[in-house]
Structure 1
Amino acid sequence: MAELLILVGLLVAVFVGYNIGGSSTGVAFGPAVGSRAVRKVTAGTLFTVFAFLGAWTIGRKVITTMSTEIVDAAAFTPAASVGVLFFTGLALLISNLYGVPASTSMTAVAAIVGLGLATGTLNTALMFTILSAWIVAPLIAVFTGAFIGRYLYPHLDAKFEFGRLTNPLIAIDTQGRLPRLSVNDNVSPRDLIGSALVVAIACYMGFSAGASNAANAVAPLVGNGSLDPSPAILLAIGAISVGGFTIARRTLATVGNDITKMPILAALIVSTVGATIITVLSWLGIPASLAVSTTSCIIGLGWGRASRARTLAEIVTQSPADESAPKFTTGALKLHPVEGNKGVNSGPTVGELAEGETPHPDRQHASGDGVSSIGEKDPEELSAEGLFHHAAAARVVTLWVITPMMSLVGSYALFSLLG
């Protein structure tokens, strides 16, 4: 019976890793594929390599935390491991059904907490540290995004341009006996730097995803001794890789319904901030959500971009019912207000590039001199339809809370009955 449960645990772990690869590959490499810096196969390959590096290095600390420190390793019986992995997989299903980037890390930890509460083995001091990090990390992402959006983004947007390459910057040549990387040497220096930056940040995000997410698939199996950390990492990355080469192909084209409306520059800022926060937390051995951090940065970036239309004093004193208040949405990231309140569209968005649309010359960036000053009355375009309205943000945050709570309650009830 124990052998059967271990086998089921391995299968559920593969299922969890498969779904992680499908979603994380699209989020990490969507901008790179959309701008044709790399092809989808190359994206899957690079994501696998860097996710492996992240999991093999600092990801081990997260696996240790989740497998032996949140609860006593002895609590991870074969049945308990299957239960924890089941609730992690259930979270992925719920997040997919509602189209919300829910946190597998938070849900996996919540399932382990339920096990710890039911068996009396929960490390409350460590959980206080983890919960504190879960509160602080999104706040850091929001405020970092808001600062960049309010003070830096318009200037960066006026100076940098990300377009769509005719041929990929990096591709895998399969014509020979062995596959090899080929580099497009007919790229202008400006496009070369921009495309290289897009690919580098995508690889960095893949590293962060591997460091934080491998533990979600295999930590219970490491805890009960079914797998040692190194084989567990290979299993997790193998499953993540399969997801990256299969179900991720759709998300690579559009990067979901939210990110497609976001300019490449904004996507790169969000990726860098989110990946840095999660990399630091993973290095500290704290499991945390890449989805929550990146989404929080998106909200902050859009708020900061739109808030340039008012001074800080005006924002603090304005009435919530003031119709003239700027709509703090990431739709503001798509427009570049210049003198005379005539908006100039920013660079092409991830979705436009993925769909093969080439930006019209008139849609290029304004000069640095055309960047509006903080406090300039917001142009009409700043209230354009965007990604994160208050209602949408509330739905996302609500599910961030509900999904781990469901995992915690279900896990506690299950293991209380089994105990």
Structure 2
Amino acid sequence: MAELLILVGVIVAVFVGFNIGGSSTGVAFGPAVGSRIVRKVTAGALFTVFAFLGAWTIGRNVITTMSSQIVDAAAFTPAASVGVLFFTGLALLISNLYGVPASTSMTAVGAIVGLGLATGTLNAALMFTILSAWIVAPLIALSTGALIGRYLYPYLDATFAFGRLTNPLIAIDTRKTIPRLSVNENVSPRDIGGSALVVVIACYMGFSAGASNAANAVAPLVGNGAIDPSPAILLAVGAISLGGFTIARRTLATVGDDITDLPILAALIVSTVGATIITVLSWLGIPASLAVSTTSCIIGLGWGRASRARTLAEIATPSPGGESGPVLTTGALKAPPAESAPDVAASPTVGDLAEGETPDPDTQQASLNRVPRVGEEEPEELSAESLFDPAATARIVALWVITPTISVVGAYLLFSLLI
């Protein structure tokens, strides 16, 4: 019976890893594929390599935390391991049904907490640390995005110009017996630099995703001793890779509704900030959500860019007419509209790049000496369209709270009856 439960646990672990790979590959390499820097197959291969590196190195710290420190390793019986993995997979299902990116780490930890409460083995001090990190990390992402959006984004937008390549910069040449990487030599130096930056950040995000998410698929199996850490990492990365080469193709094709309206520069900033936060937390052995950090950074970046219409003194002083503060917009993350700056091209969005609707590649962004200072831009120039629908944002945040809660309560009830 124990062997059968372990087999079921491995199957569920593969299912969890498969879904992680499908979603994480699209998020990490969406901008790179949308701008035709790499093909989907290349994106899947690069994501697999860097997710493996992340899981094999600092990802071990997260596996250790989730398999033996939140609760005693002895609590992970074969049945308990299957239960924890089941609730992790259930969170993915619920979030996918509602079209919301799941916080897999938070839900997996929630299931383990339910097990710890039912068995009386929960490490309360460690959970307090983890919960604190879950509060602090989004605040750091939010404030970092706000600072970059308010003070640095226009200058970065004027410095970097992103376009859509006719042929991929990097591709896998399969014409010979041994596949090998090939580089497009008919690309200008400027495009090579920008494209290389997009790929490097995508690989960095893949590293972060592997470091954080491998534990979500296999930590219970490591905890009960069914699989040693190294084979468990190979199992997790194999499942993640399978998702990256299959269901991620659809995500890469559409580039995801949650990032298609973001300019590619904004997408790269969000990816870098989110991946850095999760990499640091993974190094500390703290499981955390990449989706929560990146979304928080998007909110901060949009608000910071929109807030440039007012000085800090004006923001701190309530308007006599009762006007509201800066409006969070997609337009605020783009260059000024044509009527206010006819010789300045709007920054292409990830969706534009994926559909081929980009400005003339020879059109330059605003020069550095023409970037308006804080307080000099008109609010209407920074309010072209909403970045987030309030109702949709509320649904996302609510599900980020509800799914871990369901995981904790469901796991507690289940394990209280079984153990």
**Structure-1 separation of matches of 2:321 and 2:207:** 44
Q: Give the residue type in structure 1 aligned to 2:416.
A: S
Q: Which residue of 1 aligns with 2:294?
A: 294
Q: Which residue of 1 aligns with 2:162?
A: 162
1:226 has 2:258 as partner:
no
**Structure-1 separation of matches of 2:366 and 2:341:** 13
Q: Is the 8 A contact 1:346 1:364 kept in 2?
A: no
1:43 has 2:66 as partner:
no
Shift of 1:359: 1.7
1:225–1:324 CA distance, 2 compared to 1 (3 A): closer
Any idea what SS the aligned residue of 2:288 has? Answer: coil
Q: Which residue of 2 aligns with 1:329?
A: 329
Q: Is the 8 A contact 1:51 1:206 kept in 2?
A: yes
Residues 1-400 of structure 1 correspond to what in structure 2 (within 5 A)? 1-318=1-318, 322-323=322-323, 325-336=325-336, 346-360=346-360, 364-400=364-400
Q: Deviations over 1:228-286 (max 9, x none)?
A: 00010000000000000000011112321020111111111000000000000000000
**Structure-1 separation of matches of 2:171 and 2:352:** 21
Shift of 1:357: 2.4
**Structure-1 separation of matches of 2:328 and 2:245:** 36
Q: Give the residue type in structure 2 aligned to 1:221.
A: L
Q: Is the 8 A contact 1:54 1:209 kept in 2?
A: yes
**Structure-2 separation of matches of 1:342 and 1:185:** 33
Q: TM-score, normalised by structure 1?
A: 0.96
**Structure-1 separation of matches of 2:330 and 2:112:** 35
Q: Is the 8 A contact 1:338 1:370 kept in 2?
A: no
Q: Deviations over 1:366-398 (max 9, x none)?
A: 222332221125242422223224433322222
Per mean C-alpha deviation after superposition, the further-off stretch among 245-254 and 233-242 is 245-254
Q: Deviations over 1:24-82 (max 9, x none)?
A: 00000001111111100000000000000000000000000000000000000111011
Q: Give the residue type in structure 1 aligned to 2:203.
A: C
**Structure-1 separation of matches of 2:214 and 2:166:** 35
**Structure-2 separation of matches of 1:227 and 1:376:** 60
Shift of 1:311: 1.3
1:321–1:48 CA distance, 2 compared to 1 (3 A): farther
Q: Is the 8 A contact 1:336 1:366 kept in 2?
A: no
Shift of 1:352: 1.2
Q: Is the 8 A contact 2:162 2:264 kept in 1?
A: yes
Any idea what SS the aligned residue of 1:182 has? Answer: strand
Q: TM-score, normalised by structure 2?
A: 0.96
Q: Deviations over 1:329-374 (max 9, x none)?
A: 3342134369958795532111111122232469752222332221
1:409 has 2:409 as partner:
yes
Q: Is the 8 A contact 1:343 1:381 kept in 2?
A: no
Shift of 1:195: 0.4
Any idea what SS the aligned residue of 1:71 has? Answer: coil
**Structure-1 separation of matches of 2:83 and 2:399:** 21
% same residue: 83
Any idea what SS the aligned residue of 2:336 has? Answer: strand
**Structure-1 separation of matches of 2:51 and 2:4:** 29
1:20–1:63 CA distance, 2 compared to 1 (3 A): same
1:410–1:78 CA distance, 2 compared to 1 (3 A): same
Any idea what SS the aligned residue of 2:258 has? Answer: helix
Q: Is the 8 A contact 2:328 2:387 kept in 1?
A: no
**Structure-2 separation of matches of 1:251 and 1:400:** 21
Per mean C-alpha deviation after superposition, the further-off stretch among 383-392 and 186-195 is 383-392
Q: Give the residue type in structure 1 aligned to 2:124.
A: T
Per mean C-alpha deviation after superposition, the further-off stretch among 354-363 and 270-279 is 354-363
Q: Is the 8 A contact 1:337 1:379 kept in 2?
A: no
Q: Give the residue type in structure 2 aligned to 1:210.
A: G
Any idea what SS the aligned residue of 2:287 has? Answer: coil
Any idea what SS the aligned residue of 1:171 has? Answer: strand
| Two-structure CA RMSD over aligned residues (Å) | 1.9
Any idea what SS the aligned residue of 2:181 has? Answer: strand
**Structure-1 separation of matches of 2:136 and 2:274:** 13
Q: Deviations over 1:144-202 (max 9, x none)?
A: 00000000001110121011111111100000111111111221110010000100000
Per mean C-alpha deviation after superposition, the further-off stretch among 376-385 and 125-134 is 376-385
Any idea what SS the aligned residue of 2:122 has? Answer: coil
Any idea what SS the aligned residue of 1:308 has? Answer: helix
**Structure-2 separation of matches of 1:325 and 1:143:** 16
Q: Give the residue type in structure 2 aligned to 1:371.
A: V
